[in-house]
Chains A and B, each alone.
Chain A
Amino acid sequence: DIQMTQSPSSLSASVGDRVTITCRASQYISTYLNWYQQYPGKAPKLLIYAASTLQSGVPSRFSGSGSETDFTLSISSLQADDFATYYCQQSYTVPRTFGRGTKLEI
């Protein structure tokens, strides 16, 4: 299985900050990397797919980059409703695997 390692596991920030979350795959996945946002008790929401493509309706303050094994999710200016948990996921091969999540806290 491809292991997805996210860091940090938690992150404290303030409204207006710029934050970056990293995700590393244990082997080559090209740009088959997706990012999700999840609130407690809710389903994950797709933010970015194919490493850098913003899903329709997602604010432009979210951006993704990377390829092969190293990827980042950046939020340019944190808003109040960005405080959630973020997951990366590889779609290069089966089994589809997720990172363990990054909890973004105030």
Chain B
Amino acid sequence: QVQLQESGPGLVKPSGTLSLACVVSDDSFRSDNWWSWVRQPPGRGLEWIGEIFHNGNTNHNPSLEKRVTISVDNPTNQFSLRLTSVTAADTAVYFCARRMPRYGHFDSWGPGTLVTVSS
């Protein structure tokens, strides 16, 4: 059973950059899965941010695309999220998740990490 774990600062200043990492516990990292970021503002629904393949190919949500960078570090089984020019609207729990290749479902999730944007 693969495990995912997010890490990063829990507080970011407005106009700053949010940076998170997700470590994947097994070698499924280099198989045909996509590795995604999803966020959930407090008390609200789920928003897909973007995803990356182990070869570095990415897809992003157009609503965030200009501010988002997703990168991969294969030797450490990690992928990362960088979100620039943050505002209070970016305050959310950020989840990393594995997206399966054939039907596209998110079958494994990290526990999530709360990031608050505040001065």
- Hey, which bits of chain A sit against chain B, CB under 8 A? 1, 32, 34, 36, 42-46, 49-50, 53, 55, 87, 89, 91-92, 94-101
Secondary structure of the A contact surface, majority rule: loop
Answer whether A95 and B103 are a contact pair too, CB < 8 Å, given A42-B111, A43-B109, A43-B112.
no
Q: How far is the CA of A50 from the CA of B36 in the complex (A)?
A: 18
- Hey, which bits of chain B sit against chain A, CB under 8 A? 36, 45-48, 51, 59-63, 95, 97, 99-100, 103-107, 109-112
Answer whether A34 and B103 are a contact pair too, CB < 8 Å, given A43-B95, A43-B109.
yes
List 26 contacting pairs A-B, 8 Å CB cutoff, sorted by A.
Answer: A34-B105, A43-B110, A44-B46, A44-B95, A44-B109, A45-B109, A46-B105, A49-B100, A50-B103, A50-B105, A53-B103, A55-B107, A87-B45, A89-B105, A89-B106, A92-B104, A94-B59, A94-B61, A95-B60, A95-B62, A95-B63, A96-B36, A96-B99, A96-B104, A101-B45, A101-B46
